[in-house]
Amino acid sequence: MRIRSLALPLSLVFALAACTDADTPESSRVAGPGSPDAASSAAGPAPTGGSTPVSAKEVCAYLDGQLPTLRGIGSEVGTMANLTVNLYSWYEKQGAVPTGRQIDDQTRQECPATRTEVLDLAGMQSFETL
């Protein structure tokens, strides 16, 4: 029964990830660990279009605003799916999508309590999971 309840949210996450990746120009995709560009992407993708990275304060304000919605979802998988899609979309609108490690670093410093609650609700240990 548990597998069936996970199938729809996981399908949604994979479908959105596939669509997002397919729509992303090759030059702006983040390199994986085994790719030649992995070393240059270790610090995260460079901001696009001359934009600046999002500050820790802005990230924390966004996550604080998302907490009521995340609390109301009621399942870790649903929360993780919601967080994945909405956080990525929010960052994309800001112009620079950081790595999970960068989000972890910023939220550990600026809003550790919010970080902990968001990750707990999504059943994650780190934003690197996204």
Residue 130 pLDDT grade (very low, low, confident, very high; cuts 50, 70, 90): confident
End-to-end CA distance of the chain: 25
> pTM score, two decimals?
0.62
Tens of pLDDT along 11-42? 444 444 444 444 444 444 444 444 444 333 33
Report the pLDDT value the prediction gives residue 24, as an integer from 0 to 100: 45
Residue 84: is it exposed, middle or buried by C-beta count within 10 angstroms (0-12/13-18/19+)? buried
Residue 125 pLDDT grade (very low, low, confident, very high; cuts 50, 70, 90): very high
Report the pLDDT value the prediction gives residue 105, as an integer from 0 to 100: 95
DSSP string, 70-108: HHHH-SHHHHHHHHHHHHHHHHHHHT----HHHHHHHHH
